[in-house]
Amino acid sequence: MENNRKILLEAKNLVKEFYIGGTKKNPQVVHAVSNVDLQIYEGETLALVGESGCGKSTLGRTLIRLLEPTSGEVDFDGQNIVGMSEGQFAGLRRQMQIIFQDPYASLNPRMSVKQIIAEPLVTYGMKNKTELEKQVKALMKEVGIAEEFYNRYPHQFSGGQRQRIGIARAIALRPRLIICDEPVSALDVSIQSQVLNLLKDLQEKYGLTYLFISHDLSVVKFIADRVCVMFLGSVCEIGDTDSLYEKPLHPYTKLLMNAIPKADPRLRNEEKELLSGEIPSPVNPPSGCRFHTRCPYAKEICRQQVPEGKTVGERKVFCHFPLG
């Protein structure tokens, strides 16, 4: 992989905390994203993988300022967008869009397909009715929704079709970066593959950059160029998909892969090593390495020191004792 590719978005020491109660002196804070450094290269698909509560969705939303970060920096195309005024940010906002997980909640039930897809265009000043209609129909065709459904409402579509409408809305402004927040995890298997193929086609056609958030490692294997594994708000390991799947460096990555049920009974292994225990609370995360409470290889140092990032070839791993 070439090192001189253009960085489209870069997070530096990004922190997002949610205040959930407690007193002024002793506040209760959810540490959703803790000191994350991340680069997304132009034109690639970076997958963000982890279990629920690992902060992957929060991170995705913070990167495009749907949530304001608590501290840290996000550079989009070289400009720090954190703390930018609304007016300054308006021009950049249209370059980053998001596709949501739940196709039922992501479309306003009281708006027709036409209105939903036209909204981004109208917001950025397209007034001409015929031009608008032409564009919306072109977008519908692009994502595989028949033109005659132009005036229908979301409840008249199936989950897969709704997800396509959400995709049409996201690409309407020809953005450069799209955050895909679990876009296929609510869909049936046969529909899931249709939507994944569509996302790949669109990426090729428009040179899109995806941040693909998912808990499903097999989907990630298909779509991602690079993978970032997160646990409890911090990054465990980043690397290109093939080598990461072949040889996980972080114990968590390895155990996560063990846990996936594989659609082949010959791969059954009753003895395989499973993660024990539950995910610790993000309100009181464990000291040191956040994974140490579940890690079968944890030693004293893991309880005390937060691991520094170690570079192994093209990959980066945050572990005191990387595997391999």
| 255 makes contact with another protein (CB under 8 A) | yes
Minimum CB separation of residue 308 from another protein in Å reads: 25
| 306 makes contact with another protein (CB under 8 A) | no
Q: Are 166 and 82 in contact (CB under 8 A)?
A: no
**Strand 96-99 vs strand 177-181: parallel, antiparallel, or unpaired?**
parallel
| 149 makes contact with another protein (CB under 8 A) | no
Chain centroid to Cα 3, Å, comes to 23
Residues 6 or more apart in contact with residue 199 via CB below 8 angstroms? 167, 180, 183, 210, 223
Phi, psi (degrees; rounded to nearest 5) at 9: -140, 135
Closest CA to 97 of 80, 77, 127, 120: 120
| 52 makes contact with another protein (CB under 8 A) | yes
Strand partners, 76: 9, 79
| 245 makes contact with another protein (CB under 8 A) | yes
Interface characters, 88-127, with another protein (x: CB under 8 A) = --x--xx-xxx-xxx-xxxxxxxx-------xx--xx---
How many whole angstroms separate alpha carbon 221 and alpha carbon 74? 27
Chain centroid to Cα 224, Å, comes to 11
Kindly identify the residues of this chain, within the stretch 209-238, that bind another protein according to CB under 8 A.
Answer: 215, 217-219, 221-223
How many whole angstroms separate alpha carbon 316 and alpha carbon 152? 48
- Measured from the CB atom, is 37 or 53 closer to another protein? 53
Minimum CB separation of residue 54 from another protein in Å reads: 9
Phi, psi (degrees; rounded to nearest 5) at 58: -60, -45
| 186 makes contact with another protein (CB under 8 A) | yes
- Measured from the CB atom, is 120 or 307 closer to another protein? 120
- Measured from the CB atom, is 148 or 278 closer to another protein? 278
Minimum CB separation of residue 186 from another protein in Å reads: 5
- Measured from the CB atom, is 161 or 293 closer to another protein? 161
- Measured from the CB atom, is 35 or 243 closer to another protein? 243
- Measured from the CB atom, is 246 or 308 closer to another protein? 246
